[in-house]
A and B are shown apart, each in its own frame.
Chain A
Amino acid sequence: MLLAIDTSAGTSVAVVDRDAGILSELIEADTRRHAEVIGTMIRGALDQAGIAVTDLSGVAIGMGPGPFTGLRVGIAAARAFALGIGRPVVPVVSHDAVAFGATDPILVVTDARRREVYWSAYSGTDPQGLPIRASGPGLTGPDQLATTVSDFATYRRVDAEVVSAASIGLVAELLYLHKRPFASSEALYLRSPDVTMSAGPKRVS
């Protein structure tokens, strides 16, 4: 049984189980209130599932891609929660959760702010039920998708407003069950920090 969290778009928290499926899921679409809502949503997802934290075997977390500030809230919460219960963190690429269950080729697109989008292309689902990521995740301008993504025309485009934590959790359960590698434990920012190197002190007189 896993607690699952994603804050790569809005905020979503769920409790899932490999056998029993989705035990609870909460979704908040607001993309500016991650830090405010994360605690209440974790509490709510646990209460709705009617489980104790000791029932959990790990914490699944969407690693992005996603805008920095919000994305970090979920990852920080997942890591601290996992430490608190003495269980591992299971990192998942957030777009994989959007593609989870789709059998046709799809292009997952999420908002990256600053007039850019994050994208990942999926060719379908493998025999274990896991999405097959053909390319991505990447970052590009909304008008450049057609040129950035190879075989763009063959994909059905899916724009996701929120990423379901339940799907993050189910993907994590399948990765674990089939002994497949988890995602990297690095946050998928896909952008360098906003830094303009200074050219040195300017004259004042």
Chain B
Amino acid sequence: MAVRESQEPLVLGIETSCDETGIGIVRGTQLLANVISSSMEEHARYGGVVPEVAARAHLEALTPALTAALAKAQVSLADLDAVAVTSGPGLSGALMVGVGAAKALSIAIDRPLYAVNHLVGHVGADVLRDDGTQIEFPTIALLVSGGHTSLLLVRDLVSDVELLGETIDDAAGEAFDKVARLLGLPYPGGPQIDRIAAAGNPNAIRFPRGLTQPKDLERHRYDFSFSGLKTAVARWVEQTRDAGREVPLADVAASFREAVADVLLTKAIAACLDLEVPRLLLGGGVVANARVRELAAERTAAAGIELRVPPLDLCTDNGAMIAALGAQLIMAGRSPSGLDFGADSTLPVTVIQVTV
């Protein structure tokens, strides 16, 4: 199947790797629709994303989201030049809903299909900014959400992405959820911690920064670990309660948030300096965290590094970023992915487009 000659291909993107059903439509680098249907509320009572609950919700949300996105973009399926879909990484049962739908849709409308990498999609989201600035490469990308914490070196969006490091246990967003629960706050934890931390002292308690000791840095220079931090917070809260003292929730939240933001930015800035890449891009839902954004701005300014943060609805999981990456692949002359690819829950970030 040949891609229709087009300077600015009209691409529909389907994203179902976690708990957001995202359908986006872009024309080249222009965002036309970004419809997100989240099953977050259904997970709230469990305190975290339940894969089967997420996958069931994707199945129900998918066609309504498709219809809504087409209406928002004011285009019809016949106008599309291609379909793009997240092949991985993510929750496999959730990914499969999007993969099955994308394949069927591409056959039904006779358009080529591009299977893309979710993490690279987060980087690709930045091309959709409408502030007139353009992303430059190489860039370091720090992607932080409830599902991933990854540090990437992106030399080229469609051909050269390298994984510098990632979490060796919990994702940063997961740590926020777990600590929120510990403090009796509802799910999702990020916004809750952010809210109460505003009144707290970030230096009240010195929580550990995972994998920052010299011996850890040898093997895990750019890797993250948040499980020890979570346990340290739990222990501190228990000891305070055991001693009959009231837990200063605002200080705990602020100090925990500071520890997360500090370690994220310390490693990201180190990567920029080590590799002499004067650019840092943030992506993922944790970007919504006020302190992470603030510290990123401070530290990049101090180090003379350009900071790029896409608008928040393009930072959380969404279909527009998948469509945008698909459009980039098309504009770079790539062939479609065919129909034989599957959902790959551990797709490496070096595989930007899946071809079988």
Measured CB to CB, the residues of A under 8 A from B are 33-36, 38-40, 42-43, 46, 53, 68-69, 72-85, 187, 189, 193-195, 197-198, 200-201, 203-205
Contact = CB atoms under 8 A, between A and B. Distances in A.
B101 A79 contact: yes
Contacts of A69: 55, 92-93, 96
B339 interface: yes
Interface residues of B, number: 47
Interface SS of chain A: helix
A35 B99 contact: yes
Contact of B63 (A40, A79, A198): A79
Contact of B239 (A68, A85, A205): A205
Interface string B82-97: 0000000000110111
Given A74-B100, A195-B46, 14 more contacts: A39-B107, A68-B56, A69-B92, A72-B59, A72-B93, A76-B62, A80-B66, A80-B102, A80-B108, A84-B107, A187-B56, A201-B181, A204-B231, A205-B235
A80 B62 contact: yes
Given A72-B100, A76-B104, A201-B234, A43 B339 contact: yes
Interface of B: 45-47, 50, 52-53, 55-56, 58-59, 62-63, 66-67, 77, 92-93, 95-110, 113, 178, 181-182, 231, 234-235, 238-239, 339-343
Contacts, number: 132
B63 A83 contact: yes
B342 A81 contact: no
B109 A84 contact: yes
B339 A81 contact: no
A36 B342 CA distance: 4
Among A36, A73, A76, which residue has the most Cβ atoms of chain B within 10 A?
Answer: A76
B238 A203 contact: yes
